[in-house]
Amino acid sequence: MAGKGTLLLACLLLPGFLLSEAAKILTTSSLGGSHYLLMDQVSQILQDHGHNVTMLLYGEEFFIPEKNEISYEVLSWLPPEDHRKEFKKCFDFFVTEALHGRETFDNFVKLMGQLGIRCSDLLRRGDIMDFFKNENFDLVFVEAFDFCFFLIAEKLGKPFVSILPTQFGNVDFGLPIPVSYIPVFRSWLTNPMDFWGRVKNFLMLFDFSMKKWQIQSTFDNTIKEHFPEGSRPVLSHLLKKAELWFVNSDFALEFARPLLPNTVYVGGLMVRPVKPVPQEFENFIAKFGDSGFVLVALGSMVNLYQSREVLREMNGAFAHLSQGVIWKYNPSHWPKDVKLAANVKIVDWLPQNDLLAHPHIRLFVTHGGMNSIMEAIQHGVPMIGIPVFGEQAENLIRVEAKKFGVSIQLKQVKAETLALKMKQVIEDKRYKSAAVAASIIRRSHPLTPAQRLVGWIDHILQTGGAAHLKPYALQQPWHEQYLLDVILFLLVVTLGTLWLCGKLLGMVARWLCGARKQKKA
């Protein structure tokens, strides 16, 4: 018995010993707002798990909404001032246009072009690149929105994993896309689709492919400058080279779809243990008793760029509610000619996760960012979504399809319309029931998002990569993957056989006709 007990103890402890070796991991963050917050959380989770983490951080202050206490190392960098000014000008224009309902694909391509220029500067920085080489990182962890870090990992010759900060669709990394039931990104379709929906979805696949090519081509000059001819990576191939793809979403939100073995959902990484709400918020919430309160947080970018007209309409809508409203908005930016509604409290900072977990919350008004949606799902809170740009509208289409919220376009935000939608979601208990059902799905996973993240990272570090998780399809050209060469071959054989049979039948028919003529003669 003692021997069996020792063996059992060894089996239980062996995984811990296997995971005890610390790896040197480089994480990257070049975008602000929720992108930075997500990579900060990833870096902290890996550091807490025992790895040695260094984050390469693009250090523009206006990009970083808040800095938490960290235990990992940070290497900040900035490009030359002239490029920083050009990038900020482009970024400001992109966000401002989006907030006025004028988001265009051309504006997005220009922004990606600026990221390509910024990437060239980073690759020229001998001090940073030499630091990377000297540190000899075991793994690079990149965020998929900025393709620059795929190129850095390739330049260093290091294995890398990537996290998709949004739901599927806007980055193609080799997943099957069955267009009969999975909506193509920006198709604005849901699952299931009727016949005309499938027609639209099929056509949108070609549109998406063209736009994907345009976006990736913004890094062509960077690749030509920093990689010698003959060994230049193709960006679309590089995306499929990632050892693992983590996706910041969850089955509670996404439409079920086929995944590859190296694709892992980690939606909910930002959800932390719930803490008591600070007293100033409790005092405000208590004023409204059983009516409860509404939480409003439209993201860091909207907080910086929001227009006066939208603020006025939203404030007017909140005045119609019997609930209190806690609104994340910088009081120093509030327009002086707009009188704040009596039931509204605006604050520059709020504990979003803790307030979403509060028993008196009735509704969450959000911009539709994935981190915010995951937090709302975690706590079973119904939503009103006001998408601004990027993938937010796509996220909210899924929220509506799952029936735990509704959305309203920014240009349609009028006081009466918004007030009616908020009352609809608060009073119709079906939204709350659907949100609670989604919360059960989210919470009932056998492992937490953080456990899945570190577990899979440790797995590929121990096994020397994820070759065993990648199907050969990732190496196949598209015509082989979709059997077009086989179909063409079979078509040629079939048509050739039919042609040959036709020729033979013609010869037989002519011979028979000739034989009959000879008999008559």
Domain ranges of the chain: 21-270+448-475, 279-443
Q: For residue 334, which amino acid is it?
A: W
Q: Which residues of 130-147 are buried (b: 16+ CB within 10 A; e: fewer)?
A: eebeeeebbbbbbbbbbb
Q: How confident is the model at residue 7 (pLDDT cuts 50, 70, 90)?
A: very low
Q: For residue 394, which amino acid is it?
A: E
CATH number of 279-443: 3.40.50.2000
SS3 19: coil
pLDDT at 67: 61
pLDDT at 506: 87
Q: Is the pLDDT of residue 224 over 70?
A: yes
Instruction: Give the CATH number of domain 21-270+448-475; options: 3.40.50.2000, 3.30.2010.10, 1.10.3720.10, 3.10.129.10.
Output: 3.40.50.2000
For 60, which DSSP code? -
Q: Is there a common fold for 21-270+448-475 and 279-443?
A: yes
* Higher pLDDT pick, 490 / 305: 490
pLDDT at 488: 94
Q: What is the token pair recorded at 142?
A: 């990149």
Tens-place pLDDT, residues 98-133: 877 777 888 888 989 999 999 999 999 999 999 999
> What average pLDDT does the chain have?
88
Tens-place pLDDT, residues 172-196: 888 888 899 999 988 889 988 999 9
pLDDT at 512: 82
SS3 288: coil
Q: What is the C-alpha end-to-end distance of the chain, expressed in Å?
A: 106
pLDDT at 63: 63
Q: Is the pLDDT of residue 430 over 90?
A: yes
- Which single residue is written with the structure tokens 């240009």? 411
**Average pLDDT over every residue of 411-419:** 90
pLDDT at 490: 95
Task: Give the whole-angstrom CA distance, residue 322 versus residue 423.
Answer: 9
Tell me how far CA of residue 27 lies from CA of 47, 153, 288, in angstroms: 11, 11, 44
Tens-place pLDDT, residues 321-344: 999 999 999 888 888 888 999 999
Q: Is the pLDDT of residue 240 over 60?
A: yes
Tens-place pLDDT, residues 447-469: 999 999 999 999 999 999 999 99
Inter-residue contact 77 to 128 (CB < 8 Å): yes
Lowest-pLDDT choice from 7-16, 149-158, 266-275: 7-16
Strand order of the sheet with strand 73-77?
73-77, 52-58, 24-29, 139-143, 160-164, 245-247, 263-265
Apex 244 CA angle, 147 and 460, nearest 5: 130
Tens-place pLDDT, residues 16-71: 434 447 899 999 998 877 888 899 999 999 999 999 999 999 877 666 666 667 89
Contacts (Cβ under 8 Å, ≥6 apart) of 233: 151, 154, 223, 227
